[in-house]
Amino acid sequence: MPRLPLDNHKPTAKNLSLQHSLDRADDRDRPPGFVIVSLRHTLLSWYGQFGRDLPWRQSRDPYSLWVSEVMLQQTQVKTVMPYYERWLNLFPTIEGLAIAEQQQVLKAWEGLGYYARARNLHRAAQVIVSHHDGVFPDRLVDVIQLPGIGRTTAGGILSAAFNQPVAILDGNVKRVLARLVALQMPPNRALADLWQLSEVLLDQQQPRDFNQAIMDLGATVCTPHQPLCPICPWKEHCQAYNQGIQAKLPMSETRAPLPHKSIGVAVIWNDRGQILIDRRRQEGLLGGLWEFPGGKVEAGETIEACIQREIREELGIEIAVGDRLIVVDHAYSHFRVTLNVHHCRYISGEPQAIECDEVRWVTLADIDQYPFPKANVQIIDALRTKD
Ligand code: SF4
């Protein structure tokens, strides 16, 4: 095993014994070192006492566990819970999900963000029906080929559903392991080593509980800020804690500030009191979701001129731009937007789906049937409260 980039400025007997044990553990013919045994034992005992009681935890159904794993990829447990219950009511089986309309799937996901997760769940369900007779596969090589399932999600599902010894490395686990070995670089630059560490530590007899336990440790004790080291089952062997540097780890990447885009957005009304909405193209950010049309404000352009130009280019119609309805600030993972939303009046032309998949006139009463991104939901709320 390559030596992890530990902080060697303050070596202690515990640090050395941990690294030594990990080095030894690379030789699969030998039993793991006593530190590894101790880490497994203390973590599993702690989990037996303090593990979280989560709705999917008692399940052995790979489909339910898969849904929970995907929902938890970028979202907190308390946000996921109602979505999880609702999803399984709407789509109780893989077959049920596979035959659902994409719009129905996106609507069930509305508000959770990162909509590619929902599209991938849908597509993967169709692959399971067509390639695996509707039965979730139990081999890592098959699972990892499904859309939207990476190595850690596959490990989470296979260990939880089938008690298979497949390691995981989600955000929580990365943080815990980086602190355990006092990693002196951002975790994403040491992924191969962290994967290896996760595999070495994994309890081969109780992989299900071990993976759940290390996730819980990261979520409830080894938290991003102010980890609760005095009550941590790993404090004896944790290098960050023993060196007093746990609050400084894991090291973070230096990030450039997120770019910002100013967007002009139109709520276009016709004479019948309907609003024009469009469905975004499948490929790309928020694909398949509905939105109020608009686009990026060019340099030197007013919001009103931007809206008029964008609507002409994207939908081929003429409008009159009226009062401002609302300004919405929203951050995505790689950029921020400010939506400058104006009421507009339809004047002429037949709306065409020039830069989208579909356009539709809808009433405010019917608009809830369509899945919208979070920032657009604020526009709908404003329409309801300000009308
Ligand atoms: S001792 Fe502290 S830093 Fe180390 S694993 Fe436990 S909570 Fe995290």
Tens digits of residue pLDDT in 216-245 = 999 999 999 999 999 999 999 999 999 999
Evaluate whether residue 4 is within a structural domain. no
Q: Are residues 231 and 324 in the same domain?
A: no
Ligand 1 closest atom vs CA 246: 3
CB 288 within 8 A of CB 321: no
Lowest mean pLDDT among 18-27, 64-73, 164-173, 344-353: 18-27
Higher pLDDT, 11 or 186: 186
Question: What integer pLDDT is reported at residue 313 of this predicted model?
Answer: 94
Report if residue 6 sits inside a domain.
Answer: no
CATH number at residue 95: 1.10.340.30
What value, to the nearest 5°, has the Cα angle with vertex 266 and ends 273 and 372? 85
- Whether residues 214 and 315 share a domain: the answer is no
| Distance from Cα 33 to the centre of ligand 1, integer Å | 20
pLDDT in tens, 299-326: 999 999 999 999 999 999 999 999 999 9
Range of the domain at 309: 260-386
Number of domains observed in the structure of the chain: 2
Q: What is the pLDDT of residue 387?
A: 56
Predicted confidence band of residue 294 (pLDDT cuts 50, 70, 90): very high
Pocket (CB within 6 angstroms of ligand 1):
176, 179-180, 221-222, 227-229, 232, 234-235, 238, 240-241, 246
* Predicted confidence (pLDDT) at residue 1 exceeds the cutoff of 60: no
Instruction: Report the nearest-CA residue for atom 2 of ligand 1.
Output: 229
How much is the pLDDT for 93?
97
Atom of ligand 1 nearest to the CA of 238: 4
Looking at 248, 272, 300, the residue that finishes a domain is: 248
- pLDDT top residue among 253 and 207: 207
Q: Looking at the domain assignment, is residue 85 inside a domain?
A: yes
Band of pLDDT at residue 161, cut at 50, 70 and 90: very high
pLDDT band at 386; cut points 50, 70, 90 = low
Any domain includes 159? yes
Distance between CA atoms of residues 86 and 91, nearest Å: 8
Mean of all residue pLDDT scores within the chain? 90
Question: Which of 131-135, 153-157, 280-284 is the least confident region?
Answer: 280-284
Cα(338) to centroid(ligand 1), Å: 39
**High-pLDDT (> 90) share of the chain, %:** 82
| pLDDT for position 255 | 79
pTM: 0.80
Report yes or no on 253 lying in a domain: no
Note the pLDDT of residue 7. 43
Residue 74 tokens, joined:
């970028």
End-to-end CA, the chain:
65
Which residue minimizes the CA distance to atom 3 of ligand 1? 246
pLDDT band at 11 (very low <50, low <70, confident <90, very high): very low
* One domain for residues 85 and 187: yes
Q: Rounded to an integer, what distance in angstroms lies between the CA atom of residue 148 and that of residue 171?
A: 17
48 Cα to the center of ligand 1, angstroms: 18
Is 343:323 a contact under the CB 8 Å cutoff?
Answer: yes
Q: Please tell me whether residues 282 and 233 are part of one structural domain.
A: no
Q: Are residues 158 and 276 in the same domain?
A: no
Minimum-distance ligand 1 atom for the alpha carbon of 234: 6
Domain stops at, among 218, 248, 278: 248
- pLDDT confidence of 6, banded at 50, 70, 90? very low
CA 234 to chain CA mean position, Å: 27
List 69, 110, 310, 314, catalytic entry: 69
User: In CATH, what number is assigned to the domain containing residue 354?
Assistant: 3.90.79.10
Among the candidates 192, 213, 248, a domain finishes at 248
- Is residue 14's pLDDT more than 70? no
Does residue 359 lie in a domain region? yes
Which residue would you say has higher pLDDT here, 21 or 283? Answer: 283
Claim to verify: residue 298 and residue 211 sit in the same structural domain: no
Centroid of chain to Cα 131: 26
Do 300 and 330 lie in a common domain? yes
Select, from the ranges 19-23, 331-335, 363-367, the one with the highest average predicted confidence (pLDDT): 363-367
| Chain position carrying tokens 């356009």 | 359
- Are 270 and 162 in the same domain? no
Distance CA 99, CA 258 (A): 38
Tell me if 160 is assigned to some domain.
Answer: yes
Mean pLDDT of 135-160: 97
Residues 134 and 20 in one domain: yes
Q: What are phi and psi of 281, to 5 degrees?
A: -60, 150
- Residue 230 shares a structural domain with residue 152: yes
Note whether 207 and 315 are same-domain residues: no
Answer whether residue 17 shows pLDDT above 80.
Answer: no
Q: Are residues 154 and 298 in the same domain?
A: no
pLDDT-derived band at 332 (thresholds 50, 70, 90) equals confident
Q: How far is the CA of 226 from the centre of ligand 1 (A)?
A: 10
pLDDT score for 18:
52
The larger pLDDT score, comparing residue 61 to residue 333, is at: 61
Protein residue with least CA distance to atom 4, ligand 1: 238
Tell me whether residue 199 is one of the annotated catalytic residues. no
Distance from Cα 43 to the centre of ligand 1, integer Å: 12
| Cβ-based neighbours of 151, under 8 Å, separated by 6 or more | 144, 169, 195
In a domain, 338, yes or no: yes
Residue-level length of the chain: 387
pLDDT tens string 30-88: 335 788 999 999 999 999 999 999 999 989 999 999 999 999 998 999 999 999 999 99
